Amino acid sequence: MAAPIQFPFADEIELPPEMEGWEEMYAPQRLFSKDREAWEKRHFWYHDKIHAADPLYPLDDIFQEAWQIALSQYNTRVFCIPPAQGVAQRILGCYMYISAVESPPGDVIQKKAELFGKRVPYTFDNYARQWEEWLEKFHKLGHDMEAIHIPKELYEFAPDDEVIPSPKGFTEANVLMENFNDIVNLIIRAWQYHFQYLNLAYLAYLMFVDTCRKLFPGIKEGTIGKMVAGADVSMFRPEEELCRLSRLAMSHRSVAEVLKQKGTAEEKMNILRTTPEGKAWIEEMDKIKNPWFYVSNGSGWFHYEGSWINTMDLPFSYMQSYVERLEKGETIERKFDAISEERERIVAEYKALIRSEDDRKTFEDAHRVVRAIYRYAEDHLFWVEHWLHTIWFERINQFGKILTKHGVLAEPEDIYLFNRFEVPMLLEDLATAWALGVGVPTRGAFWQAKAEKRKKILDAAAKWNPSPAIGVPPEEIAEPFTLMLWGVTTDLVQEWLKGAGMEVGDLDEITGFPSSAGVAEGPARVLKMLADVAKLEPGEIMVAPTTNPSWAPVFTKIQAAVTDIGGLTSHAAIVSREYGLPSVTGTGVATQVIKTGDIIRVDGSTGKVTIVKRA
């Protein structure tokens, strides 16, 4: 039977009956709609598994809302990338779908080209200064968010100093409502900052790739990747600090012995506090916890992931592994110098092949630009999705606690079951009942029933298998960001159309993007849940749906990385190049085809993953 030529449209998709009412969790503009149907059906939508692989909790959706606006406006209104428009989002059945918006008319492209030619080269030439300015204003925003006052309790009566000698004019209940609005405004502003240079960083990489392909026909993607590797960026700093703390522990054997013991991080810290060496080591760790332990255990996008700073068992497990490896004489740090030296060698070799001075200048300019700005892809990642999101979740949890204390919610985490437009209603309900006086009820029973219903809907959504895409796919996927970041290709879409496809045992080779050059062979470790990261053993090949920045410490342990999703500029691709590991990304089916224990060969130069022997 031939594969279908298109995916169902949004209004043709049937959802499980247990998900009835899912639409009310999200703002109406987030959904597919009858009034926009003609426009929506002209576009091809696919499930965004990089940013929202799982069902979206309503309040966690704020990040998605924010990036839709920010990413798009820098393409369309600020840097004016001529043919590019935005990336639109829609939610269906609690899952988020995205689509690259069709190009604008020719006259608009011409207007944008004029602005692009003036604005983008200037930014490329002045990025070093602009990065320092960006970092300063982003730090200020984060500290402003930390400083927001969230009352832990609403007082029975206003204290005298808020009444005499002159009334303050407002109460803690007013502050509670006002400051939620403030923190929402800050997180949306943060995402405006997030995309200030990100599209240009990807664009610089695409321009460099295009230059290399023109000057060196047949050059491999992995070779191009090595020409830009070797960046000293913020996202790798947390892992570097763990390495430093592990080496410091090795200089005091008693500290190293405690780190190697079984037990929780809290138990180990309690033991360390009983000795001078242990106290000194903890003091050194405390100095760097903010910001470098403000790292999500996952992607940073979801409240339930937690961060190192509030789940210390994870960084302690990494340090335990580092100490054990140091005792065996192994190197635990990223081979930064070797990667940088290889970059310079490859660049010199290819420059020697260029005969024209004009071509040489074109290559040197493109390489200079990509080396300068491409680091933003990993630099900003730490400060936004990790440092700031950790602060955001801690602050939001405080709102959840006071709502729970006054019976509006059953549990603090239930606040995430309400979207950013609904939470102000919960806070106003609390403020109103408090203001009216003793014994006045809130609508706590109503909100709690709604929360329970939404938990059941999200549970049902997690068990449902959503369509990988919606609508009619183009004959060829050519939009650069769709290819380079999400790794959605024409071939991958055709595989989706085939449905379930072959049984696992029928496949012995899969292909994806050749994201980081090199060949490795060894046992596979398939990660399908966040907790699986801790199971990785030295010498294994990591196979995962995608990778998260907080997994950087395992990249010195593994031989190679394979992912289901992601292109040449995805996090897995960038980190693999920075650690000198072979990597194939965007295979589409790796976690379904490969099983833990299978012996596989990863060729990061060709994009092929071969199953050598089944477990």
First to last CA, the chain: 32
Residues 6 or more apart from 445 whose CB is under 8 A from it?
Answer: none
- Percent of the chain clearing pLDDT 70 (strictly above): 98
DSSP 509-534: EEE-EEEE--EEEEEEEE--SGGGGG
Q: Which of 57-71, 170-184, 394-408, 508-522 has the lowest mean pLDDT?
A: 508-522
Of residues 515, 554, 513, the one with CA closest to residue 536: 554
Query: In terms of residues, how long is the chain?
Result: 615
How crowded is residue 401: how many other Cβ atoms within 10 Å of its Cβ?
18
**Per-residue pLDDT at 115:** 98
2 band by pLDDT with thresholds 50, 70 and 90: low
Residues 6 or more apart from 513 whose CB is under 8 A from it?
Answer: 221, 487, 566, 567, 568, 573, 584, 585, 586, 607
**Per-residue pLDDT at 3:** 56
Locate tokens 């709604």: which residue? 450
Residue 478 reports pLDDT greater than 80: no
Q: State the Cα–Cα distance between residues 153 and 171, nearest whole angstrom.
A: 12
**Per-residue pLDDT at 4:** 66
Q: State the Cα–Cα distance between residues 229 and 537, nearest whole angstrom.
A: 26
CB 178 within 8 A of CB 428: no
Locate tokens 């660049």: which residue? 347
Of residues 599, 566, 611, the one with CA closest to residue 584: 566
Locate tokens 């060496």: which residue? 277
Q: Who wins on pLDDT, 500 or 216?
A: 216
Number of H helices, E strands in the chain: 22, 12
Q: Which of 31-40, 269-278, 308-317, 470-479 has the lowest mean pLDDT?
A: 470-479
List 562's β-bridge partners, or say none.
543, 584
477 band by pLDDT with thresholds 50, 70 and 90: confident
Q: State the Cα–Cα distance between residues 94 and 185, nearest whole angstrom.
A: 24
Residue 424 reports pLDDT greater than 50: yes
Task: List the domains of the chain with CATH numbers.
Answer: 234-327 (no CATH), 501-613 (3.50.30.10)
Residue 87 reports pLDDT greater than 70: yes
Q: Chain-wide mean pLDDT for the chain?
A: 94
Check whether the bond before 545 is cis (ω within 30° of 0).
no
Residue 327 reports pLDDT greater than 90: yes
How crowded is residue 311: how many other Cβ atoms within 10 Å of its Cβ?
14
Per-residue model confidence as pLDDT tens digits over 557-570: 999 999 988 888 88
Q: State the Cα–Cα distance between residues 84 and 113, nearest whole angstrom.
A: 11
pTM recorded for the entire structure: 0.94
Segments in 75-147 forming alpha helices (H): 106-125, 127-147
Per-residue model confidence as pLDDT tens digits over 219-238: 998 899 999 999 889 999 99
Q: Who wins on pLDDT, 486 or 19?
A: 19
Q: State the Cα–Cα distance between residues 127 and 135, nearest whole angstrom.
A: 12
Structure tokens at 334: 């990223």
